[in-house]
Amino acid sequence: MAEKKLTIAIMDPPYEKASTTTALRIVSAALKKGIHVNVFAYEGAVNLAMKDQAPHANPVKGTTVEQEEHPTTKEFVRSLLEIGKGSPQLTWINCGLCVDERGAVNVVDGVKRGSPADFFKMATESTNTLVIPTR
Amino acid sequence: MPNYIFIESRDPFDSPDTSFLADTATSLKRRGNDVTVFLVQNAVLATRKQARKSQLPRLIESGIAVLADDFSLRERGIQSDECQANVKTATIDQLVDLLLRENTRAIWH
């Protein structure tokens, strides 16, 4: 295997668990090292890239949208895909059935639709595969 | 022999099943495998010297390398001098390096 490649499967929906942050940190670190990365988003993780997410103000603190700088997972995914649009490459595949179940069709550019067969192919072609399951 | 990297995300107070990871990791180490445990998220709460129920002394005594994610430590306000001896602070870059070693099996818990 000439070039190193890491495949990560994630399953948690956005804004629920710290595992999502850790997964995105691993993806970012690998890309910055020049490592190709595959992400297979399964179950609720297909919502990470949903375009309809919107930052919000914080009425409890009285802050505006701008002051709050509320991070959205779609922006994290978009920026990682921007880093990984050449070499190293980030391939992000959302499970199609999971997308249909959740109506999570409107996603940021660069996210592909696939199936567990794609995950199997990515895993067999990678240096290593990390599965981050739901609890 | 393969290398094993266990990524522990759970803390022993909330998740008694952290003992299963320690059982598996120490068994693999006894069989001569290279085993590393990388603590992330709430798992780093177990690094504190006064943490009861921590599985870390058992892991360290068996010769397993125990690393704690620096970001997770900072998030929780845990200083390095609060941590048990032989727990090393590590970056997410180091985790990526460990994952990409040849013949390495990664297990997330």
DSSP symbols for B59-90:
HHHTT-EEEEEHHHHHHTT--GGGBPTTEEEE
Q: Is A76 helix (H, G, I), strand (E, B) or coil?
A: helix
Residues of chain A in contact with residue B7, where contact means CB-CB under 8 angstroms, are 130
- Per-residue model confidence (pLDDT) at position B18: 92
User: Please, what is the average pLDDT of chain A?
Assistant: 96
Does the distance separating the beta carbons of A6 and B99 come in below 8 Å? Answer: yes
Q: How far, rounded to the nearest angstrom, does the alpha carbon of residue B16 sit from its chain's CA centroid?
A: 15
Domains of chain B: 3-108 (3.40.1260.10)
Average pLDDT per block of 10 residues along chain B, 109 residues long: 96 91 97 97 95 90 97 96 93 98 97
- Per-residue model confidence (pLDDT) at position B80: 87
Nearest to A18 among B7, B41, B102 (CB): B41
Could you give the number of structural domains in chain A?
A: 1
Q: CA of B95: which chain A residue's CA is closest?
A: A26
- Per-residue model confidence (pLDDT) at position B1: 87
Residues of chain A in contact with residue B69, where contact means CB-CB under 8 angstroms, are 22
Confidence tier at A1 by pLDDT (50, 70, 90): low
In percent, the amount of chain B with pLDDT more than 70 equals 100
B77-107 pLDDT, tens digit each: 999 899 999 999 999 999 999 999 999 999 9
Question: A10: distance to nearest CA of chain B, Å?
Answer: 11
Contact predicate B40/B76, CB 8 Å: no
Nearest to B92 among A4, A19, A26 (CB): A26
Q: Which long-range contacts (CB under 8 A, 24 or more apart) does A77-81 make?
A: A77/A24, A77/A48, A77/A49, A77/A108, A77/A111, A78/A49, A78/A108, A78/A109, A78/A110, A80/A24, A80/A27, A80/A28, A80/A31, A81/A108, A81/A109, A81/A110, A81/A111
A62-118 pLDDT, tens digit each: 999 999 988 999 999 999 999 999 999 999 999 999 999 999 999 999 999 999 999
Question: Rounded to whole angstroms, how far apart are CA atoms B28 and B3?
Answer: 10
- Per-residue model confidence (pLDDT) at position A2: 67
Q: What is the ipTM of this complex?
A: 0.95
- Per-residue model confidence (pLDDT) at position A135: 78
Q: Which domain holds residue A23?
A: 5-132
Does the distance separating the beta carbons of A19 and B93 come in below 8 Å? Answer: no
Residues of chain A in contact with residue B71, where contact means CB-CB under 8 angstroms, are 25
